[in-house]
Amino acid sequence: MTTQTYRIKGMHCASCATIIEKTFKKVPGVHLAEVNYGTEKVKLNIDETKTSPENLSKKIEPLGYSLVTQNAESMGMNEDEHAAHLGLNRSKKEKLAELAEMKSKVISAIPLAVFSIFVMVWEIGAKFNLFLEIPYFWEEFFHHLSPIMAAYMLFVVGRPYLLGFYRFLRYGKANMDTLIGIGTLTAFLYSFTITAFEETLKPFINVEQSYYEVTIIVIAFISLGKYLETRSKLKTGDAIEKLLNLQAKTALVERDGKELEVPIGEVVHGDLIIVKPGSSIPVDGVITEGASFVDESMISGEPMPVSKKIGDSVVAGTINTSGSFTFRVTKVGSETLLAKIIKMVEDAQGSKAPIQALADKISGVFVPIVLVLSFVSLGLWLLVGTGYLGFSQALSFGLVSFVGILVIACPCALGLATPTAIIVGVGKGAREGILIKDAGTLEKLHKVNVVVVDKTGTLTYGKPELVSIQNFSQGQTLGILERSDLELVAILASLENKSEHPIAHAIVSSAKGKNINLFSVQTFEAIKGKGVKGTILNVEYYAGNTKLIKDLNIPFYTTSIEKETMEGKTPVILAIRERVLGVVMVADAVKPEAIEAVKNLHKLGIKVVMLTGDNKNTAEFIAKQVGIDEVVAEVMPEDKLNKIKELQAEGKIVAMAGDGVNDAPALAGADVGIAMATGTDVAIESAGITLLHGDISKLVKAIKLSKITMTGIKQNLFWAFFYNVVGIPLAGGLFYPIFGILLSPVFAGFAMAMSSVSVVGNSLRLKTKKL
């Protein structure tokens, strides 16, 4: 069993997608076939012992479609293949070639349509005495020129629609091309018949009324609409193109003491890559030499360059701004974060939202129903209309209704409504550092009314930091210079530099961050469970907790630190044998953006609950700082899941934001799982949404993105339904007996073409929305 995604060539409308899907599902060995008209791709899960992609392609080739079996989407491909299957090499060239061909047909069709409209308006205006009668010479000229123009339009520009009609006759599969083909061919054949046998038919029907202009103008409008739609659809997927353009084509590798520029595909694990100012980082790795600031905006959405030094990770696609550095390669090709982001974005763009199910069902039965309605309308006009209008007029109105219904009832807008909005929404999210796993997640997110957050790594940085200093050494002389705050930190960091404790790392990191030089330490000793001691410049120092100070019988009143200790801060006391010199507080600091994010969630009417395994005092202090509505502290991972189930039982739609690893059960149990990530594989794969760089403010943006995307989808579906619900009865003549209104096939063609263009245009409008 393998699951892969393939491109499909030849799709023109939503009913095409339905035909392909149904054809595939009938083939033994196909367990899943999900066709997306918006991305023109199919997701297949097949048993390769029973069928193959090549066999499936043969099944749909007689219907005018084909499966592109090369460059199937998988995670094991190199960069060139990756770019190709995402549509930046051959597939995009094919799209542009198709667009150029469509453009040339439109350019030839529009003048003919304009000419036909001019003649049609002149004839109508003359009947109402608005214009002079057309001179006999020009009337005869138009009379003989119209069949030639209509023939060119039908058999050259309209060839795809005739093929759609042919496949319907041969295979019984109808799509939008079938409807247009039947309608325009009927109008042409009727008109050609009365032109060829004018004298013979004159006693029976009105031979002066032909419909060549219907064939010409309808095909011109529809061709223009399809051209605009195709051009617009190319723009919807530009997020993928922008992400792929981040990928460097070459890398400067250090091998055998030489700098070599090699293609990206030749870079291997362990290579040393040299990155110069202004260069794109080609693959993922860890800096071994040098330092710089790296622009990670296209990956994270953050505008400020990030400081990078030895030991820091760098990711493919980010831009080195100032300094030079060397890094060791840890991930290449499809392993890189950029490749995973591209894969995730494209999978999400190709997935179907639950709201699309209704549109898919309607599109699946739409074409057969429309065919029936068009014949019923023609029959009713002939049966009922003949008695009131006469046979000739009834036949004329019946043909107008028949062709009008076939032309206006195109399910393209319906098929494009959801996928185009999803493509734009997911792409916009990716540019903001919001990775969305699938369309279903994006849809659910807009309904969320409770957000559950983990404390560590979500509201806080997830690592202890030195947050405050109390200096008790001022004004004393104890063998070295009077201690400033920085000197206290220098002594503490010098001692703790020998320790492996996480709190010791926090103090050392703080000293390094302030560019404080450390002292040399003699006679270092770790005192288990209490702290450390060591000699610096012939002075013996102690650093540790209150137990250590108590054991040493050094006078110290803990009341000075009780308040901060109650807030969850950990004291580290620096002392000499006679007295305490100072106390530093180490804590997991709150992210500044967390406070603003919670405020914005409240503005959206969303309740915020904090779940943490930390002690109650610390949790409540953090919650008060940030503005959390409810706190549940001292819980195990399974308790977090139980709390989410409890909220869901109350009818709440719950989103859980956590670090993607120890919160896995809760993330899986929530309606929407949101991983606060620094680009880890686990985080990206464990949740429905991943927020790069662990920035909780992106959670608010993700919810806003979901809301504007769903609004866009609903607007699209409304207009798609509106066009058909109003257009079909109008074209069928339902309003003629009451209002005397009958929709001309010419206007039906224009409305049909514009329906698809308006839906794609509305989706593209989402790009301009501010999150």
Backbone angles phi, psi at 742, to 5 degrees: -135, 120
Question: d(Cα 162, Cα 155) in Å, to the nearest integer?
Answer: 8
Q: Provide DSSP, 295-316.
A: E-HHHH---S-EEE-TT-EE-T
Are the C-beta atoms of residues 447 and 403 closer than 8 Å to each other? no
Cα distances (angstroms) measured from residue 392 to each of 51, 207, 447 = 56, 9, 57
**One of 271, 454, 614, 671 is an active-site residue; which one?**
454
| Residue 243 one-letter amino acid | L
How many Å separate Cα 739 from the centre of its chain? 46
Q: Which residues contact 38 (CB under 8 A, 6 or more apart)?
A: 233, 236, 349, 415, 416, 418, 419, 420, 422, 423
First to last CA, the chain: 41
| Residue 701 one-letter amino acid | K
- 3 state DSSP class of 347: helix
Are the C-beta atoms of residues 758 and 719 closer than 8 Å to each other? yes
Nearest to 337 by CA among 658, 693, 702, 699: 693
Are the C-beta atoms of residues 572 and 586 closer than 8 Å to each other? yes
| Burial class of 73 by CB neighbour count within 10 A (0 to 12, 13 to 18, 19+) | buried
- 3 state DSSP class of 399: helix
Pairing of strands 319-320, 654-658: unpaired
| Residue 474 one-letter amino acid | Q
Question: d(Cα 78, Cα 507) in Å, to the nearest integer?
Answer: 43
Are the C-beta atoms of residues 541 and 576 closer than 8 Å to each other? yes
Neighbours of 756 (CB within 10 A): 31
Question: d(Cα 447, Cα 431) in Å, to the nearest integer?
Answer: 23
Are the C-beta atoms of residues 555 and 577 closer than 8 Å to each other? no
| Residue 113 one-letter amino acid | A
Is 454 considered catalytic here?
yes
Neighbours of 105 (CB within 10 A): 21
Q: Which residues contact 575 (CB under 8 A, 6 or more apart)?
A: 541, 542, 543, 549, 552, 554, 556, 581
| Residue 135 one-letter amino acid | P
Neighbours of 521 (CB within 10 A): 19
Long-range residue pairs from 670-677, CB within 8 A, at least 24 positions apart, any chain: 670/452, 670/644, 671/444, 671/447, 671/448, 672/441, 672/444, 672/445, 672/448, 674/699, 674/702, 676/454, 676/457, 676/458
- Alpha-carbon dihedral 304, 307, 308, 314, rounded to 10 degrees: -20
Pairing of strands 450-454, 654-658: parallel
Neighbours of 711 (CB within 10 A): 15
Q: Write out the catalytic residue numbers.
A: 454
